[in-house]
Homo-oligomer: A and B are copies of this chain.
Amino acid sequence: MKRDIFQAIADPTRRAILVFIATQALTPNALADEFDMTRQAVSKHIKILNECELLEQKKIGREVYYQLKVGRMKEVDKWLEQFRKIWEARFDQLDNILSTIKKQKK
């Protein structure tokens, strides 16, 4: 289904899950307790995050612990970089649109 990390973080529940498992490993049930939805719904989100390779998992007995593979977040950071360059360089952001239109006109 060709999912990417941008789609993964688009959903607010998924973003909340990511924050939860950023610093601790949790099971689907533990996560479901935190949100007002069934475990299966949470599991679906986990599945999506997993497809994006955002998770580490460790099975202990019948429990599965999931944790964020935090390094994968760098992908978003990297995409953002191109804009960061602009907002850091641009002091007079106001009326910038005027100048860039002018540039095109000539």
Contacts and interface: CB of A to CB of B under 8 A. Distances in A.
Interface of A: 4, 6-7, 9-10, 12, 15, 18-19, 22-25, 56-58, 60, 65, 67-71, 73-74, 76-77, 79-80, 82-84, 86-87, 90, 93, 96-98, 100-101, 103-104
Given A76-B80, A80-B77, A98 B9 contact: no
Copies of the chain in the assembly: 2
Given A10-B6, A104-B24, A70 B83 contact: yes
B58 A101 contact: yes
Contact of A70 (B18, B19, B86): B86
Contacts of A56: 96-97
